[in-house]
Structure 1
Amino acid sequence: MKLNQVLSIVNQVEKSKFISCLDRLCSDAAKNNKKLAKTIDNIDGQIKNASGSEITQLFNTVRDFFKESVKEQILMSSAQLNLLINLLSRDGNCVARISWIETLYAKEWKELSKLSKDLQNCIKQGSPESTFDRNKALKIYHACMSEAYFNDQKNNRDAKVTDDERSILNILANELELTTDECAAIEHLVDVIPETGVLDALNNLRDMGLVFVSKKRQEVFVPDEIVTLLNELQGKDLADKYILRILRTLTDAELSNALKAHGRKIRGISRAEKIQTIIHSGISGSKLLSDDIHNPEDTQNQRKERLKQLITDLEIDTDKLGTTLDERIGLIINSLSGATEKEFDCLSVSGFKQLLKTLEDHFPSMQAVLKEAFELEPTEIIDTEKLRSLSITPHDILYLLSNDEVKEVRDSMGLSKRGNPRFAILESFANATDKLIENYDLLARRDVNGLKDAGVEVIEADLGIKFEEVTKAILEVLELNIDEDLRKDLNTTKDKADIVISLSDNDIIIGEAKTCKNGDFAKYSTTSRQVKAYVNRAENQGKRVAQVLIIAPSFSDDFIESAEMDTEVNISLLEAHGLKLILDAFKSKRNPSFAPKLLTKGGLLKAELIAKNI
């Protein structure tokens, strides 16, 4: 969930710590940064009065200062905070109930303690003096960690690992080829992490401006921008879900190479176990791609050629492959880490929902797979809105399935066996949405036979939902901000708006998508009661409803007149074929620009004129 979205959910008190941290950094940085000083002046120098988008802009401006400040505070804090940071920055944990975070922490603590005991036994076993093996590497790192931690006590200071010492230990771990989880477990032997006190640790992170804690919801929010920053501080160049994509693409021999490079067992270990072991080990993406997956005798050219094939297998779109190994590694890492927005855009809201439903039909355990992979609560129902809030894309879901499972889905859908099966599945759902958009007017008029003739199979009971979903898809193409998170917050079991378009932090358009089988849409009294209930609920939550937009196949004269004369709400009417006309005009332009204010004129909108103004 983006920072701007989190700021719109939490109240002023709950975001006060973050704003205080930002205010302090802005004051210090503005003294030597004219651009930042001007930005602050534009909001009258009062960050606490700034909008969510302005606060996000300020954060991006002082991000480097924020990162340095957080780094210093974490180094001065306990090892417990580092364990919690590692937990909160993992895929799927950026929005979670406090009680669930406590559960995950307890599980993580037990696993870390178990690994610590195993490594302690390895250290005690030792190695022959003439050999250098994993046990000796563990012993050396343990000795250095102990010295780094306890040497402060010689000078009558609190024991801790300083920034300089941490940098040296990181280099040592890399040269000894120890994984992140092994380093954390050895540190746990030296500086034992408390098993309890998670709430206090969360409050410490909140005071640093790293998390938002909602008392009303009893939830913790970590914005995507903060997650990225925390990963950088931990030395993670790729999130686990992207490491998984790379591993799914590798051969069994390459997976074994990665395990051997870090002294892990490979005999009798299944492919699935190999993948999970590598992910949980915390091996960096760059290390994996530069050394671990290759045979020791492979030349630089052989390694570069392997990465070239990997770029093709991952279908990374690039103009230049890079001439060096490091350039190709950088290309893969940068492409994957910046893929989220693009991947959400590849499927409409409707397409994403249909993909998830199809996968659940093929794999009844899909919900359990998602919960296990992304550490979600067992009782939680996972839908596409929840996945979007966790920044889990359609690509992420498909890569949870093994290569054989994905091919099974592809074959059952009757898709071509050429190319990457995951991308073939995604393309099929994108095409299905395109077909519905092409036949948008038939969908609006509930013309089942016309849709069948056009090659679109939709059962009559689903026509209303499909029309709503395709309407959202069209508005998304027009680059309007369809705010599913806000819609979910505004809706109740009784009042459920179809569409919410965010114009700014507080200004919105509420949309209703209405199908009609015979004649013009004429139910004004029922529709007006609905939209007025939505408007009242939105205004009670501090939102300003700039317009209500009703989309239908066509409207009766009485409906149009009633809408124009209504003094309680501002209502715009748009016919379905008119919205399709606007979409076609938008797509035909080289540099199209659609202003939301074109939908706020009131009364029956003239689609032809709007299309000309794009």
Structure 2
Amino acid sequence: MKLEQILDKLGSIEKNSFIKIIDNIISNSPKNIKEIDKILSTSDKGLKSVDNQNISKIFALTSEEFQQHIKCEFQEITSQLDILIDIIIRDGNCIMKRDWFSRLYDKEIKHLKGRIKVLESDFKNEKSELSESRKRDYKIYKACLHTAYKNDIENNRDPKITSDELSIILTLSKYLGLSQEEIKLINYSIVPIKKLDIQDVIKDLKNIGVIFYSNKENTVYVADEMVRMLRKIREKEVAEKFYRRTLKLLRQPIINQIAREHNIDRNLSHAQKIEEIIKEGVSFTNLLTDNIYKNETTLTEKKKTLNELCEKGLNISNLRGSTLDEKIMNLINHFENVERDEKVGISLDGFDKLLSELNQSLPKLNRDIKEQFELQDEFVLKADYLLDYNIKPRDILDLIVKSDLTKFIKDYGIKQRGDDILNILEHYKDVENLYLENYENVAYRNLNTLKENGISVKESELGQKFEDLTKTIFKDLGFNVDDTFKNKLNTKKDMMDILLNLGNEEIIIVECKTSKERGYNKFSSVSRQLKSYQNLALKNDLRIVKILLVAPEFSDDFVTDCEMDTEMNLSLITASTLSNIYEAFKTSKYEEFPYVLFRDIVINEERIIKALKK
């Protein structure tokens, strides 16, 4: 769930710790202070009176400083921050009831204690499966950590690892090739784990700003933006779902090799080993730099292998980068962009239909998804529910074994040639709703983004498509989009786009404009056009209640010219605003949109959405 959505759910007291941290960062003049000041200049009472959308923007502008603030908390080695963060950044754990969080915490502590016993036994056992070189790596790291932690006691101070010591230890762990899980096990073999009270855990995490807690709902919320930040701090470069997607493309001997390298039980199944590699926190970069190749593989061969993995397996053509490191970084950036993208890849209706039919074909899937993502609800195969956890159609399909995918494809007559997952996504695309979800991209004539989101359209068709989509929106808002009446009124010279017939000889005229350029700035030409439509309607004894101009955005000059016009009852509405009003209307009590709300020069989205929610 996005930060702005979470902030909308909470009261001011529940947001207070987070706001205080950002306020403190701002007081120390962060890197982006000029941009922050521009946002704050609209508020007289400082950050506390800024709306949630702008708080989200300010958080993005202070992300580097906020990340440093969290890193400082890691100096307190007894804080268990690594354990707790590893729980809350897992796919599916961004929304948790308090009791569920407590159960996950208990389970993690128990799991760690068991693993520590096994590790200590492997240290002593000459016949353990740990290689001598790996034992040496562990012993070196453990000795250095022991010295960093215990030297304070010898100097009559509380044991603590300083930031300098921590940076050296992190560098050491990196060059020894230790996973996050291996580091954790060694850390807590020196500093024994004490189980904390869950309310204290929640309070501590809330105070450092990494979670929000709703007292009313007894629910922990972790914003998507925060999850990405915490992942960087834990040096987990990609989300688990993307890591899994990549590992599933590797041959079994390679998975076995990685498992052996990081002391993962070789008796586990192939799928279980993949999950353990993910849980271990094995570096994604190290995986693609060294772990998936044979020892004698040349750099050129590694680049070729990575390109093939991306093109044939991940459907990413032309992975950019001249060096292996650049290619890996671009792949990580690709996954991050996919995660940030709010588009689902298929329409919401298509996602719901997919989940419904998957549930019918594969009755155990609900249980499997629930367990995989550690979700607490009993029935989880609901599109809106999963999207709150940032779980998309592809993430669900990635978890289904090949034999079950084949069964599902046959059950529902889905195309069988080619890639199974891509065929399924194409089958459930639901093009009309997918276009509506990309309404703003159509307005901006953003052809590349439309293609990335699964829409194939010619640029010459975008103007008509924008008009058709706008008609659909107004129909769904309860208006009578009267094409018959419009066609009677239109002449060869004057052809209005959309006419909304309100009855009793009253109409609303809607004009649609697409534009690649930022800031629509052609008032003189569009005003002549609209005035001719107005005259046409008046000649036919019609009362024009409103003229609406829909465009991707409007320049300041355009808005000023519109304000100065005294001849038309004209309002301007951006494609984004109309789309958001449309979404809010779907869940409102109204069957028909109250058009009296269209009364501003530039339609105020926030005011209208608040009115619809009443």
1:428 corresponding residue in structure 2: 427
1:477 corresponding residue in structure 2: 438
Query: Secondary structure of 1:78's match?
Result: helix
Q: Contact 1:6/1:223 (CA < 8 Å) preserved in 2?
A: yes
Shift in CA distance, 590/420, structure 1 to aligned 2, threshold 3 Å: farther
Runs (5+) with no aligned partner, structure 1: 438-469, 481-510, 516-548, 558-571, 576-580, 606-614
Q: Contact 1:343/1:393 (CA < 8 Å) preserved in 2?
A: no
1:550 corresponding residue in structure 2: 478
Q: Contact 2:4/2:53 (CA < 8 Å) preserved in 1?
A: yes
2:292 corresponding residue in structure 1: 293
Q: Quick one: distance in 2 between partners of 1:265 and 1:412?
A: 37
Q: Quick one: distance in 2 between partners of 1:102 and 1:78?
A: 19
> Map of 1:412-423 to 2, 5 A cutoff?
412-423=411-422
Shift in CA distance, 257/30, structure 1 to aligned 2, threshold 3 Å: closer
Displacement of 1:419 in angstroms is 3.1
1:359 corresponding residue in structure 2: 358
Displacement of 1:32 in angstroms is 8.8
Q: Quick one: distance in 1 between partners of 2:149 and 2:30?
A: 37
Q: Contact 1:17/1:206 (CA < 8 Å) preserved in 2?
A: yes
For residues 115-152 of structure 1, give each alpha carbon's deviation from its aligned partner in whole angstroms, at most 9, with x where no partner exists.
00001111223699xx8333333222222221121111
Q: Size of the alignment, in residue pairs? A: 481
> Map of 1:68-467 to 2, 5 A cutoff?
68-76=68-76, 78-125=78-125, 132-266=132-266, 268-317=267-316, 320-342=319-341, 344-377=343-376, 379=378, 381-430=380-429, 433-434=430-431, 437=432
Q: Quick one: distance in 2 between partners of 1:47 and 1:228?
A: 23
For residues 63-97 of structure 1, give each alpha carbon's deviation from its aligned partner in whole angstroms, at most 9, with x where no partner exists.
11111112112323634232111111111111110
- Which deviates more, 338-347 or 591-600? 591-600
Give me the TM-score of the superposition, normalised by structure 1. Answer: 0.71
Q: Quick one: distance in 1 between partners of 2:57 and 2:342?
A: 24
Q: Quick one: distance in 2 between partners of 1:329 and 1:404?
A: 31
Shift in CA distance, 36/45, structure 1 to aligned 2, threshold 3 Å: farther
RMSD in angstroms over aligned alpha carbons?
A: 3.4
One-letter amino acid of the structure 2 residue matched with residue 277 of structure 1: E
Shift in CA distance, 383/67, structure 1 to aligned 2, threshold 3 Å: same
Q: Contact 1:98/1:220 (CA < 8 Å) preserved in 2?
A: yes
One-letter amino acid of the structure 2 residue matched with residue 245 of structure 1: R
Q: Quick one: distance in 2 between partners of 1:144 and 1:169?
A: 7
Give me the TM-score of the superposition, normalised by structure 2. Answer: 0.71
1:602 aligns with 2:595: yes
1:447 corresponding residue in structure 2: none
Displacement of 1:396 in angstroms is 0.8
2:520 corresponding residue in structure 1: none
Shift in CA distance, 105/513, structure 1 to aligned 2, threshold 3 Å: farther
Q: Quick one: distance in 2 between partners of 1:239 and 1:293?
A: 19
Q: Contact 1:213/1:220 (CA < 8 Å) preserved in 2?
A: yes
Displacement of 1:343 in angstroms is 7.0
Shift in CA distance, 55/597, structure 1 to aligned 2, threshold 3 Å: closer
Percent of aligned pairs with the same amino acid = 30
Q: Quick one: distance in 2 between partners of 1:279 and 1:574?
A: 59
Q: Quick one: distance in 2 between partners of 1:595 and 1:376?
A: 35
1:488 corresponding residue in structure 2: none
> Map of 1:465-614 to 2, 5 A cutoff?
470=433, 475-479=436-440, 549-550=477-478, 593=552, 594-595=574-575, 602=595
Displacement of 1:193 in angstroms is 2.0
Q: Contact 2:409/2:424 (CA < 8 Å) preserved in 1?
A: yes
Q: Contact 1:573/1:602 (CA < 8 Å) preserved in 2?
A: no
One-letter amino acid of the structure 2 residue matched with residue 389 of structure 1: D
Q: Quick one: distance in 2 between partners of 1:339 and 1:73?
A: 30
Q: Contact 1:10/1:214 (CA < 8 Å) preserved in 2?
A: yes
For residues 549-604 of structure 1, give each alpha carbon's deviation from its aligned partner in whole angstroms, at most 9, with x where no partner exists.
3257889x9xxxxxxxxxxxxxx9899xxxxx999x78x87676253666888289
Q: Quick one: distance in 2 between partners of 1:219 and 1:597?
A: 31
Displacement of 1:299 in angstroms is 1.2
Q: Contact 1:237/1:284 (CA < 8 Å) preserved in 2?
A: yes
Runs (5+) with no aligned partner, structure 2: 442-471, 486-499, 504-508, 518-550, 553-573, 582-592, 599-614
1:441 corresponding residue in structure 2: none
One-letter amino acid of the structure 2 residue matched with residue 595 of structure 1: A
Shift in CA distance, 551/316, structure 1 to aligned 2, threshold 3 Å: farther
Q: Quick one: distance in 2 between partners of 1:415 and 1:382?
A: 20
Displacement of 1:45 in angstroms is 5.3
One-letter amino acid of the structure 1 residue matched with residue 303 of structure 2: K
Shift in CA distance, 15/354, structure 1 to aligned 2, threshold 3 Å: same
